[in-house]
Amino acid sequence: AQSVTQLDSQVPVFEEAPVELRCNYSSSVSVYLFWYVQYPNQGLQLLLKYLSGSTLVKGINGFEAEFNKSQTSFHLRKPSVHISDTAEYFCAVSASGGTSYGKLTFGQGTILTVHP
Amino acid sequence: NAGVMQNPRHLVRRRGQEARLRCSPMKGHSHVYWYRQLPEEGLKFMVYLQKENIIDESGMPKERFSAEFPKEGPSILRIQQVVRGDSAAYFCASSQGQGREQYFGPGTRLTVT
C-alpha cells in the first residue's frame, strides 16, 4: 500500500515570492508521482507528473517538482507566485505495478494562499 | 476536445433515495476511476473500471454502492438508500491506460437531506 504526507496544511505567501509545497510518500514498490491543483468548487487539474527519467519535472503554470528517491519526497516549487495560484494542491502517488496499479492515493492537501 | 464530463453537477436526495452519478471519460480513454472527497477525510479512491469490467473496487463501501462502465454509454456510480454521511463531492477521472495520468471531471456534489 502507498501513503502520502503533505507536511503543511496551509502555506501563506506574498505575491512574487518563491514557494515550496512539501510531499513525502511511503511505498514498498516503485511509484509514479503527481501534483494536482483544485480551485474552489472545481475538479482537479494535473500540474505535473513523474513516471520515469529525469528527477526534475516541469509542469504547467511555471511549477516544477523534484523526485528524491532516497528521501521519498516530491516537493513542488514555483520561483514566483501570482494571486491566481491561490488554490489547494494535492500530491498523489500510484504504484507502478501490482494490485494497486492504477489507483491514486492522495495527500491531505495544502492550501496555498497568495497575498498581494 | 471535451474533457471528462460528469452529471449532474449538483444532486440533492432525501435519506433513503437512490443517487445515480454519471461520468463520460475523455475521448480515447477506456479507464475510469471514481473518488470521493469528504471535508475531513480528503480524496479517497473508490473504484477503477475498464469497459465492462471492474478492475479494483477496494475502496468501495461494501453495501449500497455499485459502479458500472458498460460497453456503450457513461460510467455510473449508484448509491442506494442514501444516508447523510454520503454527502460529499464525487469525482470521476479517466486515463488512456493503467498507470497513466488521470484527468478529472468537475465532480458531482451530492447533498443528502
* Separation in Å, CA of A74 to nearest CA in chain B: 16
As beta bridge partners, residue B5 has B24
Task: Determine the residue of chain B that is closest to A40 in CA distance.
Answer: B106
Residue B17 grid cell: 433515495
Residue of A36, A43, A101 lying closest to B99 (CB–CB) = A101
Give residue B40's pLDDT.
Answer: 79
Q: Is the pLDDT of residue B7 over 80?
A: yes
Give residue B1's pLDDT.
Answer: 54
Region B21-45 average pLDDT? 93
Task: Determine the residue of chain A that is closest to B99 in CA distance.
Answer: A102
- Rounded CA-CA distance A15/A34 in Å is 25
B57 touches chain A (CB under 8 A): no
- pLDDT (tens, 9 = 90+) of chain A, 116 residues, equals 889 999 999 999 999 999 999 999 999 888 999 999 999 888 999 999 998 888 999 999 999 999 999 999 999 999 999 999 999 999 999 988 777 778 999 999 999 999 99
- Rounded CA-CA distance B77/B89 in Å is 12
Greater pLDDT, A73 or B98: A73
Residue B8 Cα to chain centre, angstroms: 11
CB atoms within 10 A of CB B15: 11
